[in-house]
Structure 1
Amino acid sequence: MKTFQIKGTARLAVGKKSNKALRVQDLVPCVIYGGDKVVHFQAHENEFRKLIYTPKVYQTSIDVDGSVYNAFMQALQFHPVTDKLLHIDFLEIRENVPVKLQIPVRLDGYAKGIQQGGRLKANLRTLKAKGFSKDFPDEIVIDVTALNLSESIRVGDVHVPGIEILNAKSVPVATVVVTRAARAAMADTSAAAAGTKAKK
């Protein structure tokens, strides 16, 4: 998995008043938990733009006054009106401790059902996975080539070595749905077939 670099400084004070003062300066209060100690730090909001405004998932390398922490972003808080980034929680990576992440899904291939007039629908953009950081892929690639009209690939059909998928197994990840045009074509075909039989 690719690594994203962040440079920050330790927070000398925590709490609502301190957080508000930081945000006025376009600084984002953050916390790293899950390790030997909880680390409070701050960084300019520009440090995070390429990390949060993307469907990709990154392992983050956070430099706080020279001390480096490897972590995954776990939670974001935005202002309800302005959408300004208010706070980020990071989970420190420990080699022997499994973590849970949302991994992006990429559908690959040209489904047979599309050739039959259907439309490929992505039902899930990410899958919730559990495993060790070294085993997480950048994305989960799912081959949809074999899907016919009205067929789905479900969570239970997806397998990633070393990773446990936590979504309900019956949930469809991708489906080839029947479009109105396809329904009309199928109806015309059925009507034509019925007419041919009637003439005989």
Structure 2
Amino acid sequence: MEELRVTKRVKEARHQAKKCRRNGNVPGILYGKDIRNLMFEIGELELNSLVSSYGEHSVIDLNVDGEKYKTLMKDVQRDPVTGKFIHVDLESVDGTKQIISNIPIHFVGEELAGKRGAIIQKEKSSVKVKCTPDNLPRYLDVDISKGRVGSTYKLSDVEIGSEISVLDNLDSVIASISYEQKIVEADDLEGQE
């Protein structure tokens, strides 16, 4: 994993966060059990690249003006209109202790099921897990390429490493496959008679 370099911010008035955003940066905060809250700023492009590569709930090696921390991305806030990042929260974690986090579900083979006229109904988008930071996966792959109409996928059907404990109900449905329903117009029925 790459080391992320950020710059420490001085706690000042509320307008400083707006100024930070105007300069192409995103304000953030680092907090944890054994450290004082530390405000920082990160380039918007760097944060975008990080989230694209590792996801919104990933473990990050953080360098704040030479001080190094192992962190978990706890929250990423976006502007509801533009979708731009407006704030990021990081929590300092101990690499040897277990953490609880949500990992996104990545559905593999959606296009194959779609070509057969099926619709994939996604019931869950993430799974709550407990593991050490080094064992936290970027996402959980669920292969639905061989699914048939009427198939359901439960969390218990997914292969998950023994170093990861799933905290969600294993019997919960994460996706199902059904037929595409077509609406027939009354004019179409009259033309067939």
TM-score, L = length of structure 1: 0.71
Contact 1:35–1:94 at 8 Å: present in 2 too?
no
C-alpha deviation, 1:94, in angstroms: 0.8
| Counterpart code for 2:92 | E
Paired with 1:99 and 1:129, the residues of 2 have a C-alpha distance of 8
Calculate the aligned-residue CA RMSD, in Å.
Answer: 3.1
Pair 1:16 & 2:14 matched: yes
Paired residue for 1:186?
none
Paired residue for 2:165?
164
**Cα displacement string for residues 54-111 of structure 1 (whole angstroms, at most 9, x for unaligned residues):** 674642222111112121211122234443322100112212432222223234569x
Paired residue for 1:32?
30
Paired with 2:119 and 2:97, the residues of 1 have a C-alpha distance of 41
Q: CA 1:52–1:139 in 2, change beyond 3 Å: closer, same or farther?
A: closer
Paired residue for 1:178?
179
Paired residue for 2:104?
104
TM-score, L = length of structure 2: 0.73
Q: CA 1:4–1:124 in 2, change beyond 3 Å: closer, same or farther?
A: farther
Contact 2:29–2:40 at 8 Å: present in 1 too?
yes
| Counterpart code for 1:43 | I
| Counterpart code for 1:31 | I
| Counterpart code for 2:47 | F
**Cα displacement string for residues 3-26 of structure 1 (whole angstroms, at most 9, x for unaligned residues):** 243211111224513222322322
The alignment partner of 1:137 has SS state of coil
| Counterpart code for 1:175 | S
- The count of corresponding residues between Structure 1 and Structure 2 is 178
Paired with 2:54 and 2:5, the residues of 1 have a C-alpha distance of 22
